[in-house]
Amino acid sequence: MTEASETTQTEATGPASSAPSLAPTTAEVNRWRQDFPLLSAEVNGRPLAYLDSGATSQKPVSVLEAERNYYEHLNAAVHRGAHTLAAEATLLFEDARATVADFVGAQEDEIVWTSNATEALNLVAYAFSNATVGRGGAEAERFRLDPGDEIVVTEMEHHANLIPWQELVSRTGATLRFIPMAEDGSLDLDAAGSVITDRTRLLAFTHVSNVLGLVNPVEELVSLARAVGALVVLDACQSVPHLPVDVKALDVDFAAFSGHKMLAPTGIGVLYGRSELLAAMPPFLTGGSMITTVTMEAAEYLPPPQRFEAGTQRVSQAIALAEAVKYLQGIGMDRIAAHEDELGRRLLDGLGRIPGVRILGGQASGPRVGAASFDLPGVHAHDVGQFLDDQGIAVRVGHHCAQPLHRRLGVTASTRASTYLYNTTEDVDRFLAGVAQTAAFFGVTV
């Protein structure tokens, strides 16, 4: 191992994030796998080992059927027609909202449908922009930004939770600051206390790093924000699919996540926002379905969440997302977290034994999800990924939309394996054997 990954197994994996007794048996996981048609495929003549769920998850039959059933039996424009099909489609669409709200501990009117988490984060950023130029009236003043105001992010953010804030400060004259990473890859909480000041208006950070798999200390960060009266935006893309998440218990003001990372189709995302904050926010997109009265001079808008849902909505995708939530609830998020905890430990322990492998964030303690990124010095991540793909093993390579994080760790790209409820220890062991063969093939040594 390189110096950066010379840690004990306990230090590399951190304490257990879930009780081991909750973990499913091998037989249970194999039964779940049968619900996912694509997992029975072969790639390059080898059985598929899909370890790229951090990018997008596979879909169970029940989710595929839910979307197909909608189009075959209920397809109609929601919130627009008075006929039976429209009424039934609208009911199912709003039932989906209620299902997702319950899943994350929110109220129904606090769930806004978006195309993905990126759009959800941009929605909040543009609400600040619109408030700054006087849209939204007196209630929206709490979102107004002026020169001297500050937005704080972290050095480990996905670009979707960084670039919208970069653009926002460029439009408003505010300043963007960031909480740095410590040497072990975790957030430097000592530095956070000085970065977050009475000038901070908003703190935006990821719940779980999409590169490192580390679960960030939400309670401590929210406490720092609350002490200075700042709003909190949580990127929950890598937590909601893998961990029990209650947005009220976390005490965040906004949270964003994507359906395609949690067994649902692409094209559906979720923004959670506190009801009183959504009610004060000016809209982002405008047009049909989000208004009450329109004249040739002006318009009045519906209350949330419809205020933020302009145009024809993602009806089939929302219904399929609700079905995905039901599937996850049927297993239990605590059991999924326990299963991934075991797989994640196996990943990190195995990578730590392969000569030359540098585990990004491998020294950090604390809870993790079942994901790990690594570097083989002298071997480009794309070559690693191609070598594994030849063996039917699907992983993610590149900077994972987190260039500042990689730059901080001194690499341009890495290889990431990310697990989910349908992965087995065999998947992980095939991956580890493949990495060892890759290192040997390219002559990587300690």
Quote the pLDDT of residue 137.
85
User: Which of 296, 329, 362 lies at the terminal end of a domain, its last residue?
Assistant: 329
pLDDT tens track for 357-367: 999 999 898 89
The CATH number for 196's domain is: 3.40.640.10
User: Which of 304, 329, 354 lies at the terminal end of a domain, its last residue?
Assistant: 329
pLDDT band at 403 (very low <50, low <70, confident <90, very high): very high
CA–CA dist 155, 179 (Å, integer): 6
Residues 296 and 315 in one domain: yes
CA–CA dist 255, 25 (Å, integer): 32
pLDDT band at 5 (very low <50, low <70, confident <90, very high): very low
* pLDDT for 428 beyond 70: yes
Whether the full predicted model's pTM is greater than 0.85, yes or no, is yes
Residues 114 and 80 in one domain: yes
Residue 24 inside a domain? The answer is yes
Mean pLDDT of the residues in the chain: 94
Least confident of 6-10, 64-68, 279-283: 6-10
Quote the pLDDT of residue 420.
98
| Averaged pLDDT for residues 164-193 | 96
Percent of the chain with pLDDT over 70: 95
* pLDDT for 3 beyond 70: no
Single-letter code of the amino acid located at 336: I
Residues 378 and 435 in one domain: yes
| Averaged pLDDT for residues 226-234 | 98
Residue 110 inside a domain? The answer is yes
Residues 115 and 248 in one domain: yes
pLDDT band at 9 (very low <50, low <70, confident <90, very high): very low
Least confident of 129-138, 141-150, 420-429: 129-138
* pLDDT for 225 beyond 70: yes
Residues 171 and 234 in one domain: yes
Domain encompassing residue 111: 64-329
Of 363 and 345, more confident: 345
| Averaged pLDDT for residues 311-339 | 97
Quote the pLDDT of residue 378.
92
Least confident of 125-129, 136-140, 232-236, 329-333: 136-140
pLDDT tens track for 291-309: 999 999 999 999 999 999 9
Residues 423 and 294 in one domain: no
Residue with token string 């929302």 = 318
C-alpha Rg value of the chain to the nearest Å: 22
Could you tell me the CA-to-CA distances from 59 to 37, 159, 203, 239, 328 in Å, in that order? 8, 25, 33, 18, 12
* pLDDT for 10 beyond 50: no
Residues 77 and 201 in one domain: yes
Two tokens at 266? 């692409």
Which residues are identified as catalytic? 401
Q: Which runs of E-coded beta strand occur in 180-252?
A: 200-206, 231-235
DSSP alpha helix (H) spans, 34-83: 61-73
Residue 267 inside a domain? The answer is yes
Quote the pLDDT of residue 446.
66
Contacts of 289 (CB under 8 A, 6+ apart): 79, 80, 306, 309, 310, 311, 312, 313
Residues 18 and 77 in one domain: no
pLDDT band at 64 (very low <50, low <70, confident <90, very high): very high
Quote the pLDDT of residue 18.
42
Residue 264 inside a domain? The answer is yes
Quote the pLDDT of residue 81.
82
Residue 446 inside a domain? The answer is no
User: Which of 288, 303, 329 lies at the terminal end of a domain, its last residue?
Assistant: 329
Strand order in the sheet with 175-179: 111-114, 269-273, 254-258, 231-235, 200-206, 150-154, 175-179
Residues 108 and 235 in one domain: yes
Residue 59 inside a domain? The answer is no
CA–CA dist 170, 164 (Å, integer): 10
Number of domains comprising the chain: 2
Q: What phi and psi, each to the nearest 5 degrees, are found at residue 281?
A: -80, 135
* pLDDT for 87 beyond 90: yes
Residues 45 and 105 in one domain: no
Percent of the chain with pLDDT over 90: 91
* pLDDT for 118 beyond 60: yes
| Averaged pLDDT for residues 260-277 | 98
Residue 84 inside a domain? The answer is yes
Quote the pLDDT of residue 134.
87
The CATH number for 396's domain is: 3.90.1150.10
Residues 253 and 340 in one domain: no
Residues 300 and 355 in one domain: no
